[in-house]
Amino acid sequence: MIMLYVLLLPLIVVCIAPLLSSKKATYLSAISFLLPFFAILYCILKGCTPEISIVTLSAPIGEIYLNFDYISHAFGLTICIVSAMVALYALPYMVHRFEEMELNVESEFKKYIFLYQFYAVSMLWLVYSGNLILLYVFLEIALITAFFLIYFYGYGNRQWVGQLYLIWSLIAGVLALAGIIIIGVTNGTLALNALVPPFATVGMIAWTLIFIGMVIELPVVGPHVWLPWAHAESPTPLSALLSPLTVGLAGYVLLRIALIDYSFIAAYRMPIIIYAIFSSIYAGFSVFKQTDFKRLLAYSTVSQMGYMLVALCLGPFGLVGLVIQYMSHAFGKSILFSSAGGIIAVHHGLRDLNKMGGLHDSIPTLSNAAVIGFLNLGGMLTIGMIGEFFILRGVVETFGISMKSLPILLAVIFMFILSVWYGFYTVRKVFYGKPKDTKRLEISRYYYVPLFIIGIVSVLFVFPPLSTALIPGLNSLIQTLMGLQVAAVGGVLP
């Protein structure tokens, strides 16, 4: 029951934080996510995976409960540490933003912290929801709170950008809801513990609706048009959650549906993989064309989401890789967007790469943090390295090693190389080269200490005991659920 209490804590803080001063509200917000982080960490190390029933409703909804398996823990742990650290980072940043907008700092911070806390809580409860309808409810709460944060505190034409984000996300949500309703009507329940083979199936219509909706939400090239605008013009604390956490949760939804019925992915594996690889490479090369630092990072997100879509198609090992890739991208991109926001705050709105260069001399702490962020995206010396290993193993397990499968293997490897390439390009473009100003700037510790903490966590998961507790737990759970599907069809999945 302790997990129920620690999940309720940040939900209660949604109501308490707006009543406090900005500093007290920030600390309370951070603590409300750090306590669940350590509780989840304990559960991973001890192998605790209970379920907590909340209420049972009539068909087609079924039991509403909280699901504490290794998949939920991996996503939940990531959401907690990133949300806690970004809450601390946001204290001086949002004060700077309110002053820039000529707003009353204390009154606006109360509104901001309510929206921020509710937004982060909705993502946390989403990944622990054991019922698809509850999952959808928290997905919509995340959508609405993010819209208000963009609308009130974004940059540029923030109202238009907020509406753009809202419309695309509503389309994605409606499609997903239609698919979820079909699953419930077909199977008589939406509870994940009842939607297991051989008793449950996800029809092609339901799968298609959910897949299209989540591809819009990820997004990959095509429906990605909303993302560069939303990520670039959001207030940076939102960018630091929206890019690494929220869009990746579309991958979580697809993963949960795949573990119920993998037949859709198996049937359309090659078209999806080709589309995902093309999207990742296209968006990766688009990074080099950007002159706005935050838009550059947004295109990097599109490229990284291609990783998750590829991983979805690669059987059990690929699904493990999807989970780890989510963690790696969340750690890396939250650091990078926060670094970009730090530059905006201390260099008077600087975002143009053509006006950057040599910033390491003036803000070395942000420069070093950005390097750690790109190491996560490139899969070097961080948990991203393990994610790339499982994706490559999924390629080999799915397609074998032959001349026929070589193009897929080489394309996936090139995706990984491209992330490293544009990462070092960006670091050199922004932080190194001939400095425009050699004066060392004094910046608030809130701008860089939380980023280093996220970076340390991303490295610790490469080593025991964290890696040896989480990775086998994920692998065993996913192999078991996929094995049930194999047994249900009396053979192997195509």
- Average pLDDT score over residue span 115-132: 97
Contact 388/415 with Cβ under 8 angstroms? no
Q: How far apart are CA 443 and CA 348, in angstroms?
A: 13
Of residues 48 and 137, the one with the higher pLDDT is 137
Give yes or no for residue 492 having a pLDDT over 60: no
| pLDDT of residue 436 exceeding 60 | yes
Q: What is the mean pLDDT of the chain?
A: 93
Q: Which helix (H) or strand (E) holds 64?
A: strand 63-67
Amino acid letter for position 27? Y
**Percent of the chain at pLDDT above 90?**
84
Q: Which residues pair with 51 in a beta bridge?
A: 67
- What is the pLDDT averaged over residues 71-77? 96
Q: What is the DSSP letter of 48?
A: -
Query: Which of 173, 169, 203 has its CA nearest to residue 186?
Result: 203
* pLDDT reported for residue 437: 61
Query: How big is the CA angle at 233 (ends 232 and 238), to the nearest 5 degrees?
Result: 85
Instruction: State residue 491's pLDDT score.
Output: 59
- The whole-number average pLDDT for the span 421-430 is 94
Arithmetic mean of pLDDT, 216-227: 91
Structure tokens at 259: 């573990």
Question: Where along the chain do its domains lie?
Answer: 2-489
Q: Is the peptide bond before 465 cis (omega within 30 degrees of 0)?
A: yes
Does 446 score more than 80 pLDDT? yes
Which run of H or of E encompasses 206? Answer: helix 204-217
pLDDT band at 438 (very low <50, low <70, confident <90, very high): low
Q: Which pLDDT belongs to residue 483?
A: 85
Confidence class of residue 441 from pLDDT cuts 50, 70 and 90?
A: confident
pLDDT > 70: percent of the chain: 98
Residue 246 Ramachandran class (φ > 0 left, ψ -120 to 50 alpha, else beta) = alpha
**Residue 331: both structure tokens together:** 């750690």
Question: Residue 210 above 60 pLDDT?
Answer: yes
Whether the pLDDT of residue 364 is over 80: the answer is: yes
pLDDT over 90 (residue 440) = no
Mean pLDDT within 406-425: 95
User: Is the pLDDT score of 89 beyond 70?
Assistant: yes
Confidence of residue 489 (pLDDT cuts 50, 70, 90): low
Do the beta carbons of residue 372 and residue 293 sit within 8 Å?
Answer: no
Averaged over 6-19, what is the pLDDT?
96
DSSP state of 234: S
What average pLDDT does this structure show over 357-365?
89
More confident residue, 37 or 50: 37
pLDDT at 50 exceeding the cut of 70? yes
Q: pLDDT tens-digit profile of 138-173?
A: 999 999 999 999 999 999 899 999 999 999 999 999
Q: For residues 149 and 112, give the distance between their C-alpha atoms in angstroms, rounded to a whole number.
A: 7
What the block records as the tokens of 452 is: 């280093």
- Average pLDDT (23-31) is 97
pLDDT given for residue 490 in this prediction: 62
Question: How many of the other CB atoms lie within 10 Å of CB of 282?
Answer: 17
User: pLDDT digit string (tens) for 252-310?
Assistant: 999 999 999 999 999 999 999 999 999 999 999 999 999 999 999 999 999 999 999 99
pLDDT of residue 433: 76
Question: Taking the CB of residue 126, how many other CB atoms lie within 10 A of it?
Answer: 25
Helix (H, G, I), strand (E, B) or coil at 63: strand
Q: What is the pLDDT of residue 22?
A: 95
Buried b (16+ CB within 10 A) or exposed e, 70-83: bbbbbbbbbbbbbb
Local structure of 364: helix, strand or coil: helix
Q: Is the pTM of this model over 0.85?
A: yes
198: cis peptide before it, omega within 30°? yes
Q: What separation in angstroms does the CA of 243 have from each of 82, 228, 344, 351? A: 12, 10, 18, 18
Does position 458 have pLDDT exceeding 70, yes or no?
yes
Neighbours of 475 (CB within 10 A): 17
**Confidence band for 196, pLDDT divided at 50, 70 and 90:** confident
Per DSSP, the three-state class of 368 is helix
Largest CA distance in the chain: 69
First and final C-alpha spacing in the chain: 40
